[in-house]
């Protein structure tokens, strides 16, 4: 049975959702539970997107609402409680070198976070080396390469190659995504999978890491 907050978020009722959170927090409500309810709402948004009932703006808007809810509840979450919020696994995401498009990447980031993964967002125009270093530093087992331009194909290929050259390739699965990605691009880059939208990125990651 969906909670009141998850329903409000699923229905993209921003003002009502934020007022609900304010009232709950004022009444001493459980901040972590509120965040969990909000994430459930996001999951339903993802389902509606997959069904063709919601579109990209709905995903983006729901993410904006969740961000505001997270800002409200954050001060009420103790560091210990936050640490106990178990994650399903770590995923590194970034827009590859030479490309500064971030809308698609940001959608993947917040949907992965909603689904319970810990996401290391490297940002945009990410140098090849930074992906390699991030894998070493975080131990992430999944890497998501985003790129909108056709020039991104070469940057994705170089990034996959660099991960391979550093001996880390057997330890990670690599997915790619963006406006021009298809099977031919996947083969060219040497990545393991591609997602045509943020939902598919979650599906692929879940298959690799569980969730």
Binding site for other proteins (CB under 8 A): 12, 14, 55-57, 60-61, 64, 97-103, 125, 149-151, 153-154, 179-180, 182, 184-185, 187-188, 197
Closest approach of Cβ 73 to other proteins, in Å?
21
Query: Dihedral sign, CA of 160, 161, 167, 169?
Result: positive
Q: How far is the CB of 84 from other proteins (least distance, A)?
A: 32
Smallest separation, CB 36 to other proteins (Å): 24
CB of 72 to other proteins, least distance (A): 18
Q: Which of 9, 88, 17 is nearest to 43 (CA)?
A: 9
Q: Which is nearer to other proteins, 25 or 60 (CB)?
A: 60
**Quick check: 177 and 27 in contact, CB under 8 A?**
no
Nearer to other proteins, 80 or 182 (CB): 182
Token representation of residue 18: 């934020």
**DSSP run (H or E) holding 91:** strand 90-95
Residues 78, 82, 83, 84, CA torsion sign: positive
- Nearer Cβ to other proteins, position 21 or 181? 181
* Closest to 96 measured CA to CA, from 161, 166, 169, 149: 149
Which residue's CB is nearer to other proteins, number 172 or number 202? 202
Minimum CB separation of residue 17 from other proteins in Å reads 12
Strand order in the sheet with 118-121: 118-121, 90-95, 142-146, 173-177, 193-195
Min dist CB 90 to other proteins, Å, is 26
Q: Are 79 and 132 in contact (CB under 8 A)?
A: no
Beta carbon nearer to other proteins, 142 or 155: 155
Q: Give whichever of 199 and 205 is closer to other proteins, judged by the CB atom.
A: 199
Q: CB-based contacts of 133: which residues, under 8 Å, 6+ apart?
A: none
- C-beta of residue 8 within 8 angstroms of C-beta of residue 16: yes
């Amino acid at each position: 049975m969906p909670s009141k907050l998850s329903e409000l978020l699923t229905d993209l009722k921003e003002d009502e959702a934020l007022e609900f959170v304010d009232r709950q927090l004022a009444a001493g409500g459980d901040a972590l539970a509120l965040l969990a309810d909000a994430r459930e709402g996001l999951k339903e948004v993802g389902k509606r997107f997959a069904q063709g009932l919601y579109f990209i703006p709905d995903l983006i808007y729901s993410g904006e609402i969740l961000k505001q809810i997270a800002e409200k509840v954050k001060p009420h979450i103790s560091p210990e409680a936050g640490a106990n919020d178990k994650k399903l696994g770590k995923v590194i995401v970034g827009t590859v070198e030479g490309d500064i498009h971030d809308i698609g990447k940001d959608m993947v980031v917040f949907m992965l976070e909603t689904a319970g993964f810990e996401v290391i967002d490297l940002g945009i125009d990410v140098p090849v080396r930074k992906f390699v270093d991030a894998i070493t530093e975080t131990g992430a087992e999944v890497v998501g390469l985003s790129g909108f331009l056709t020039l991104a194909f070469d940057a994705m290929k170089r990034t996959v190659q660099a991960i391979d050259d550093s001996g880390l390739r057997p330890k990670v699965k690599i997915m790619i995504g963006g406006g021009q990605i298809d099977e031919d691009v996947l083969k060219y880059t040497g990545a393991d999978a591609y997602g045509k939208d943020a939902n598919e990125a979650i599906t692929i990651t879940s298959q690799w890491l569980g969730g």
